[in-house]
Every structure is written in structure tokens, then in C-alpha cells.
Amino acid sequence: MNMLGLSYILIINFLTSHCEEQYCSIDSTEHCTEKKEDNLYNKVSNEQYIKYYNAIEEAEKSYKACNNTNNGCFKHVIKRDLKPFKEKGISKDLINIAKSRGTFYQIIRGKLYRQKECMFPSRCVGVEYFLLKLAPELSDIDLVINVRDYPQSSKHFGGPLPIFSFSKTPQYYDITYPAWAFWEGGPAISLYPRGLGRWDELRASLNEASKNTPWENKENRAFFRGSRTSAERDNLILLSRRKPNLVDAQYTKNQAWKSDEDTLYAPPASEVPLEKHCKYKYLFNYRGVAASFRHKHLFLCQSLVFHVGDEWTEFYYDAMLPWIHYIPVSKDANQTVLEELIQFAIDNDELSKRIAMRGRDFVWNNLKMWNVTQFWKKLLKKYSKLLTYKTSLDKDLVKIEREERP
Ligand code: UDP
């Protein structure tokens, strides 16, 4: 059957499930008239929905779940990011140039060393958690890790530099590594004063929260809470002000907040813990300065994720597919487009639930701490083979040891 055929069947199913003539008895004409008006409305809206039905049908037709034995879902990212260095390898000179753009680390005889200063100490701790774990099984390497939000090796300025960054767009050469925030050092908002982190713990608490609010009990509303780290978020906030029954999206303060102007001329809203997001059916994810850490958490609510924009990625993003695991939204979507998409999700509850559950299952099954550690391991093993020189310990570095925790 062609796509148009399926779309029309979907529409007809949708319409007949809303008003079937045979159920209209002679003495309930008033009720029937009401239904017919409904029908007319639904026809218009369903014709608007054809593009979404088609997109879902296309995506499902070609979808084959990736095989994640051995972390296979993510291996193409390592291959892609190391490819620019394959031909000539990574020389000492290249590392020396890269050093000014990140934090310099060495792994020597199974021990981890770092330059004394780290621009964001808790981010370095988040990175070091994984490096310390892996150091005993790695050969000697030099590496430059960027713990700023923004990537550093632009394709528009000079050749590729071997710099590890947590997030980038296709315009950058940076080598993607799993964000520090899987362990520690994420944004320090009032709810997470030590900084968002501990993905292992949040996985468990979000899973619990999702069980307490199964799909059928969730509010039929879209939800977003966060600060104005990118103006791309404005249209959803404005839609929420016009249609609060459709979407609850409000800006919170961040450290840069100075006045209501920074929250789009409204007082800042209170922060909402990630677990409380689970009470809504539709959760929005927007980029911030780079990719936003909230992304992976939203899926574990077993809510439907609306992911806006496709440029900024973390290491696991590309393994998740639009219309299969989430609803893709253009970064330029205006209020009308956002409203139509949310209404589409509301009017197609079974489809919405199906996508939400696939998204949840992907993150739950494939993004465990084990997968994160394995990604680091494979990345560093492949990276070490590209170094064209034998490294030796830089005496200015400090030895990093495992932090003792209470
Ligand atoms: N966050 C939250 N509840 C809020 C606001 C923010 O849980 O009410 C979390 C969210 O996980 C996000 C982080 O705090 O990853 C920072 O959010 P913000 O919108 O300030 O910045 P982003 O990193 O998304 O650009």
C-alpha cells in the first residue's frame, strides 16, 4: 500500500472512531449534529496531519533497531570523529596547539595526570571518574579535553585539532566524549546545588517517577522548564502564555539572570525537578549553549519527547531516530507549528504512546553507565593508535587519584 493510501485509512479510522452514523438513533439527532460538526473539524485537522502520518510510516518502514552488543549503536560516532586524523595521525605538535583550547591530561603506565588548573573543577571531576576507571587498561596517551560547553575546532578555521568536547554540530572537528554530567558537574541549579550529575541515580529515580505516572494518568499538556540559554525556546514560552491549557512552558533563572528581561519579560518561574516532569505527556527538549543535559532524562519519564533542532548532539543522539524515538521539531518552528504538533500528539494518543515507549526503551536499555564507560574505552583505545609519537610524563602535571566519598 502506498503512503497516501495508509494516510487516508488512518484518517478514516480516526473519523469513524469519533462518529459512526449507525450509532446515531433517530431520537438523538442533536447529539448527531454535534458529532457531524466534530467530523468536519477532524477532517480539516487530519488533512493537516497527513505529513506527520507519512513521516511516521516512512520512518517505521525503514527502522531497524541497532545492535548494541558491544556498544554497536554508538561506534559510528567514534569512527566519524577520528576519521580526519586517520591519514596523518596525531603528532606532538598538533597536541601542543590543541593544549591552549582545553585541559591537558596524560595517562602514563595506567595512572592519570592533569595540568594543575581546570577551568571548571567539578566538570573535570566528572570526566576523571571515567578516566580513572579506564586508565589501568589503556596505553600511554596525551589528550586535550575541553570542559567548556562550546566545541573548539571549527571546520571553517584551520585543520582538525584533536580536542575532546561533549557536544558539537557538524561544523566542528572536535572528538565527541560522554559529558562530565553523567557523573558530576552539570548545571548547578537550586535543585541540584552540587550540579546535575549521577546519571545512575537519576535513571533509578526517573524510572520510579514514570511508574507512578503511567501514560494514561499523565496530563495532556506539553511541558518545559528551564532558563533562556537559547532564544530558540521563546516561541514555546509565548505559546504557553497564550494557551496555558495546551502547554506549560516557563523560564527559570540561571546564574546570568539580571532582570525579568532575561525571562522574556515575566518573573522567573520556580524550578521543577526532573522527576516532576513525568506528570506531563509531552516534554520539550531545546539546545542551550550546546546540547542540553535534560535530553536523556526526559525519555525516562515515559513521556513523548519533542526534540527541537538537530544540529547539536552528544555521543548517543545519532542512534535515536526522529518519529521513531521522538517527535522532531524544526528550530525555527513558530507558535502555529508548535501548536499543530502538540495537537497532533493529543489527537493521536496511540501513536504518541508508541513513540514515547520506544524512546524510553532506547535510553533505558542502551544508555546505562556501562555503555558510557564502554564508549570512553573504545574511543580512547582507537585514539591511542593514532598518536604518532611515544609520550612521556610531563613533570608539571599533577597526579589524579580517585576521590574518597563519604
Ligand atoms: N532543570 C530542571 N528543572 C528546572 C530547570 C532546569 O531540572 O526547572 C535542569 C535541566 O535538567 C537542565 C539543567 O537544569 O539540564 C539546566 O537547565 P537550563 O534550561 O538552565 O539550561 P540548559 O543546560 O538546558 O541550556
Measuring from atom 20 of ligand 1, which residue has the nearest CA?
Answer: 227
pLDDT of residue 39: 53
Q: Ligand 1 centroid vs 191 CA: distance in angstroms?
A: 10
Q: Ligand 1 centroid vs 321 CA: distance in angstroms?
A: 23
Percent of the chain with pLDDT over 70: 88
Q: pTM (2 decimals)? A: 0.90
Residue 21 has pLDDT above 60, yes or no: no
pLDDT of residue 46: 80
Q: Which of 28-32, 55-59, 339-343, 353-357 has the lowest mean pLDDT?
A: 28-32
User: Which residue out of 93, 142, 149, 234 is catalytically annotated?
Assistant: 149
Please state the rounded mean pLDDT for residues 170-183. Answer: 98
Residue 52 has pLDDT above 80, yes or no: yes
Q: Which atom of ligand 1 is nearest to the CA of 289?
A: 25
Residue 136 has pLDDT above 60, yes or no: yes
Residue 245 has pLDDT above 90, yes or no: yes
- State if residue 288 touches ligand 1 by the CB under 6 angstroms criterion: yes
> Which has more pLDDT, 311 or 47?
311
Q: Which mutation among 189, 236, 284 tests ligand 1's pocket best, with the greatest number of atoms within 8 A of CB?
A: 189
Q: Which of 7-21, 145-159, 304-318, 352-366 has the lowest mean pLDDT?
A: 7-21
Residue 25 has pLDDT above 70, yes or no: no
Q: Which atom of ligand 1 is nearest to the CA of 288?
A: 25
Supply the mean pLDDT for the chain.
Answer: 91
- State if residue 153 touches ligand 1 by the CB under 6 angstroms criterion: no
pLDDT of residue 45: 67
pLDDT tens by residue, 249-300: 999 999 899 999 999 999 999 999 999 999 999 999 999 999 999 999 999 9
- State if residue 229 touches ligand 1 by the CB under 6 angstroms criterion: yes
pLDDT tens by residue, 67-108: 999 999 999 999 999 999 999 999 999 999 999 999 999 999
pLDDT of residue 220: 98
pLDDT band at 235 (very low <50, low <70, confident <90, very high): very high
Residue 32 has pLDDT above 70, yes or no: no
For the chain, give the secondary structure using H, E and C: CCHHHHHHHHHHHHHHHHCCHHHCCHHHHHHHHHHHHHHHHHHHHHHHHHHHHHHHHHHHHHCCCCCCHHHHHHHHHHHHHHHHHCCCCECHHHHHHHHHHCEEEEEECCEEEECCCCCCHHHHHHHHHHHHHHHHHCCCEEEEECCCCCCCCECCCCCCCCEEECCECCCECCEECCCHHHCCCCCCCCCCCCCCCCHHHHHHHHHHHHHHCCHHHCEEEEEEEECCCCHHHHHHHHHHHHCCCCEEEEECCCCCCCCHHHHCCCCCCCCCCHHHHCCEEEEEECCCCCCCCHHHHHHCCCCEEEEECCCCECCCHHHCCECCCEEEECCCCCHHHHHHHHHHHHHCHHHHHHHHHHHHHHHHHHCCHHHHHHHHHHHHHHHHCCECCCCCCCCCCEEECCCCCC
> Which has more pLDDT, 82 or 24?
82
149 annotated active-site: yes
pLDDT of residue 402: 80
Measuring from atom 1 of ligand 1, which residue has the nearest CA?
Answer: 226
- State if residue 287 touches ligand 1 by the CB under 6 angstroms criterion: no
pLDDT of residue 44: 59
Residue 15 has pLDDT above 90, yes or no: no
Percent of the chain with pLDDT over 90: 86
